[in-house]
Amino acid sequence: MGYAILVFLWSVTVYFNSKKNIFIMVVLKTAFFALVYGIIIEVLQEQLTSNRDGDIMDGFANLLGILFAVILLYFIQPKLIKLKNRN
């Protein structure tokens, strides 16, 4: 759920602060960076800590959260575009 919130809030913030109106590119870029961040965190947990393990299932959970956010953003995209264009 954490990655869903991260991607959702990050995408909306970047979209409303950008001059371009390419919503889908903002969402895909933030989803990609969140995925890379999650992979890096899992690798670092495995390599740099003695009391934590990197787990592939955590990576899949992160991916599910990211996909949930992307799907949610897809469905509310028209409302967000209308809201941005109003300002």
Domain ranges within the chain, ordered by starting residue: 2-86
- Pick the more confident residue, 29 or 49: 29
Nearest 5°: the CA angle 77, 37, 81 is 10
- Pick the more confident residue, 84 or 21: 84
| In the predicted structure, residue 63 carries a pLDDT above the cut 90 | yes
Q: What are 15's two structure tokens?
A: 């979209």
Rounded to two decimals, the pTM is: 0.84
Most distant CA pair in the chain, distance? 52
| In the predicted structure, residue 22 carries a pLDDT above the cut 90 | no
